Structure 1
Amino acid sequence: MVSNRYKDTIPLDLDLDTSLAPSQLATLSTIITHRTIRSFHNTPLPSSTLPILLVSAQSASTSSMLQTYSILAIRDSAHKAAVAQLSGNQPFLHSAPLFLIFCADLARIASLVTKNKTLGKPLEKFDMLLTASIGTSIAGQNAAIAAEALGLGISYVGGVRNHAAELSELLRLPPRVFSLFGIAVGYADTSVEEGVKPRLPMSEMLHLETWDDSEQERNVERYDEVLGRHYHRYLNVGRNHWSEFVARWHADGGLEGREHVRGVLEGQGFGLE
């Protein structure tokens, strides 16, 4: 399980398969064996799926109990196609039976501030947007893990920010609400095998007590080799070196319309002070 995530950069002294109870292992297996699904069967989901995902999302930690997010569930095929068109138009968005859009939502708080005639200065501060974004992301990950625990596949979609203004209009988002990301949910097409994609070595991500990037060059070189082998095996693509891909992505822009996000946020009434 862990070896699939790190390949030959697996941390020493980490053998989950023998050190944990079955119930513990089942939970961790759902998390550690995650992989993005980009090919779904258009099979309807059980009616219980959406409520389970919602209660899982709402069970996430939330700063000061503010609950600064809302979730749109897109299931109608025509509506989903219109949303997909503004979100990168990836084929799996059309076949996945459920597309959840997670929105940072300060409109609810703004309404309560107005109703109770209290000063709303924090709403004008950038930290409130940051708080809402963090809370929305935590809720989204809870929903993603719940979906995978149900045997479903998921794919995060940042493309909902590609044409953020147009999508806000399509979804009728009120002021102080912004679509941060989407999650496509459905039954994975098991004929398409991409494997568990390796991550950077744990030693690159973990800093003990104080920051230390002295091994970064070595860690990245090792990762270039590991991920290159993965892509060659499963995808047969020429993305041989992760470091070169990252540099090239930045050189090419890679934003696909997201460079306008700040303006959309301001247009939606978010304070950025």
Structure 2
Amino acid sequence: MNQVYDTVTNHRSIRSYSNEPVSEEHLTMIIEAVQAAPSSINGQQVTVISVQDPETKARIAELSGGNPWIAQAPVFLLFCADFYRAKIAAELNGEELVVTDGVESIIVGATDAGLAMGNAIAVAESLGLGIVPIGGARRQPLELIKLLGLPDYVFPVSGLVVGHPAGASEKKHRLPQAAVWHKEKYNTELEGLIKRYDEEVSAYMLKRTDGKESRGWSQAVSSLYNRIYYPEVRTMLEQQKFDTK
């Protein structure tokens, strides 16, 4: 097929890493890929903070919910939506930064960070590195902001662990393509597809856990989405000068 296609479609989240460091050359390539990602109005609303200090990674692991692979892997990357540079640009031109008074700025920043992270993941995996995204970076975001010195108009979107895999990881089943690819208009008749997918995921979980766990996809998702599981996000956005109203 195609090398990029093969890399992307063979993605696996890695949660066990060796002690082998990630070279500066590979980190530079990853950041070059981040900067090459498209961004809204070419505003380049993304900043990446790389963390390799063991104590800082250990603290980030605590703030993110106790994920041990954050401390174990050699590199943690924090992807941030960043309008601080836009604030400077406004001041340089005698303008006022107003876009952060609306939720559009939050969508733009998060979208740009997601696009950039996608590039980073593809390049890291093409280099033989393992990764796992860390949504837990939003679990205690006020403490993370303080720890890493994020200024106003910048907020954490997601973390990314990068390192050399210590072992293999199974490829997870995805939703049927018909549930994701809707042609011409949205197809709301999805219940049957989701039920069949639940059966696939349940069989996968039974095998993976030696019969101890049989949750399907819908059960796993609904058990998380029945609450606001990162309740500090709104407070964090408002603290960083983003209007959420």
* Short-chain TM bin: over 0.9
Trace 1:76-155 onto structure 2 (pairs within 5 A).
76-155=53-132
Percent identity of paired positions between Structure 1 and Structure 2: 31
For residues 123 and 263 of structure 1, the distance between their equivalents in structure 2, rounded to whole angstroms, comes to: 15
Equivalent residue number for residue 198 of structure 1: 173
Shift of the alpha carbon at 1:242?
Answer: 1.7
- Is 1:164 the counterpart of 2:141? The answer is yes
**Which 4+ stretches in 1 moved above 3 angstroms?**
none
Equivalent residue number for residue 4 of structure 1: none
> Which has the larger Rg?
1
Shift of the alpha carbon at 1:119?
Answer: 3.1
Secondary structure, counterpart of 1:34 in structure 2: coil
Aligned partners of 1:204 and 1:213 also within 8 Å:
no
For residues 136 and 38 of structure 2, the distance between their equivalents in structure 1, rounded to whole angstroms, comes to: 25
Equivalent residue number for residue 227 of structure 1: 201
Q: Deviations over 1:206-242 (max 9, x none)?
A: 111011122x111011101111111122233414322
Aligned partners of 2:203 and 2:214 also within 8 Å:
no
Q: Which runs of 5+ in 2 are unaligned?
A: none
- Is 1:247 the counterpart of 2:193? The answer is no
Equivalent residue number for residue 46 of structure 2: 69
Q: Deviations over 1:131-176 (max 9, x none)?
A: 1110011001100110000001100000111101011001111001
For residues 62 and 130 of structure 1, the distance between their equivalents in structure 2, rounded to whole angstroms, comes to: 12
TM-score (norm 1): 0.85
For residues 228 and 69 of structure 2, the distance between their equivalents in structure 1, rounded to whole angstroms, comes to: 20
For residues 69 and 234 of structure 1, the distance between their equivalents in structure 2, rounded to whole angstroms, comes to: 37
- Is 1:269 the counterpart of 2:241? The answer is yes
Aligned partners of 1:110 and 1:123 also within 8 Å:
no
For residues 92 and 214 of structure 2, the distance between their equivalents in structure 1, rounded to whole angstroms, comes to: 54
Does 100-109 or 75-84 show the bigger shift? 75-84
For residues 200 and 158 of structure 2, the distance between their equivalents in structure 1, rounded to whole angstroms, comes to: 29
For residues 12 and 143 of structure 2, the distance between their equivalents in structure 1, rounded to whole angstroms, comes to: 30
TM-score (norm 2): 0.95
Aligned length: 244
